[in-house]
Structure 1
Amino acid sequence: MEQFTLVFASILGGLAVIFGAFGAHALKKILSEEQLKSFETGVKYQMYHAIVLLIIGFNFKLEIASEKYMVYSFIAGIILFSFSIYGLVISSAKNKKIKILGPITPLGGLLLIIGWALLVYNV
């Protein structure tokens, strides 16, 4: 489970760098200032939580259920929160806003909060 966590953390961290560069360079030309800030919020949250996953992977044995749920909550939260923001921003910039992504963002945020609560519990 530690290996799984570290691999996911590394992938999500690397993708955050790629998406950050993509937003700063390619999307800067087509996004409004507000859209760019939203995109950057997704990137920041993705990177912050990828770092948290690295710390968890190196410091927990991840053998008990609550530790595993903590990892799953962070991973699912990152994907639902950040990736829904990316989808919302890019689709709205193309005037084809994918409205179903709107309710997914807070669900991702809730999973991130659950991950933090489980981190407190497991510490």
Structure 2
Amino acid sequence: MASNFYFKAGSILGLTAVGLGAFGTHGLAKYVGDDATKLKNWSMAAHYQLLHAVALVSISSIPPAVRRIHPAVAPLMLGGTIAFSGSIYILTLKKREQLRFLGPVTPLGGLAMMAGWAALLL
């Protein structure tokens, strides 16, 4: 059951990563101007989101009979991706002063993604 959830979650992450990446290329400048840092950050968030979407779909596609994956991998990757990329998207669109509390969410999301990859070694 959990693999079906993570397969769907990975699919949704992939779908939204492509859409958000396209928005970042074709429409984001209308909101943030020509701020190269914000445009680059948005692109990086979409890139990481798409990579982790593919990882989640791949991991959840392994048949349970052969799967020897630590149970923390998928939740860490999913939660980390949402925290990492999501906080970057929000911080790019909003004034940073208004959302200072989101500052630590980005690196914590990155650590969770890293922990997910590390858990694959277990």
Q: TM-score range by the shorter chain?
A: 0.7 to 0.9
Higher helix content, 1 or 2:
1
Quote the offset at 1:61 in angstroms: 2.4
RMSD: 2.2
1:74 and 2:77 aligned: yes
Residue 28 of structure 1: how far off its partner (Å): 2.2
Within a 5 Å distance, the mapping from 1:1-123 to structure 2 comes to 1-31=2-32, 32-59=35-62, 61=64, 67-92=70-95, 97-121=98-122
Closer/same/farther in 2, CA of residues 107 and 50 from structure 1, 3 Å limit: same
Change (3 A) 1:60 1:81: farther
Query: Conserved in 1, the CA contact under 8 Å of 2:52 and 2:81?
Result: yes
Secondary structure in structure 1 of the residue aligned to 2:99: coil
In structure 1, C-alpha distance between the alignment counterparts of 2:76 and 2:3, rounded to whole Å: 15
Report deviation, 1:75: 0.5
Q: Which amino acid aligns with 1:58?
A: S
Structure-2 change in CA distance of 1:77 and 1:3 (3 Å):
same
Please report the TM-score for the alignment, with normalisation by the length of structure 2: 0.88
User: What is the CA distance between 1:96 and its match in structure 2?
Assistant: 5.5
CA contact (8 A) 1:39 1:85 kept: yes
Ranges of 4+ aligned residues in structure 1 off by more than 2 Å = 28-31
Structure 2 unaligned segments of length 5 or more: list them. none
Cα distance, 1:29 vs structure 2: 3.0
CA distance in 1 between counterparts of 2:63 and 2:108 reads 26
Within 2, Cα distance between the matches of 1:5 and 1:30?
A: 32
| Counterparts of 2:39 and 2:98, CA distance in 1 | 15
Mark the runs of 5 or more structure 1 residues left unpaired by the alignment: none
Contact 2:31–2:93 at 8 Å: present in 1 too?
no
- Using the size of structure 1 for normalisation, the TM-score is 0.87
